[in-house]
Amino acid sequence: MVIKIVMSIFIIVMILTAWYLWHRRGGTFLIYDVGGDPRLATILKWTSIALIIESVIGIIILFFTNKYLNLITLILGSLTILIFSLLINQKNE
């Protein structure tokens, strides 16, 4: 029961992050001007799409009784955010 609550919170955070990235893809994102860099807008768009897909997968996995399947959601979400952070840090190169 506790695992389902924690995973539900994680999925909600992923959905909120995807929503934030989607709405910031045309303006400013933290310290970056997305309007002047179309590559960054693309990164924001595809990251938000990936997070939404992973959230849907996480919701489906949440209904299974095997608690180790929830690791798929954790790993996918963490890897997506890791790749996103690496891509925005290399945008000036």
Q: What is the pLDDT of residue 93?
A: 53
- Between CA 37 and CA 73 the distance in angstroms is 30
What's the pTM?
A: 0.84
Q: Residue 28: in which H helix or E strand, if any?
A: strand 28-29
User: Is residue 92 pLDDT above 70, yes or no?
Assistant: no
pLDDT digits (tens, 9 = 90+) for 34-85: 667 778 888 888 999 999 999 999 999 888 877 788 888 899 999 999 998 8
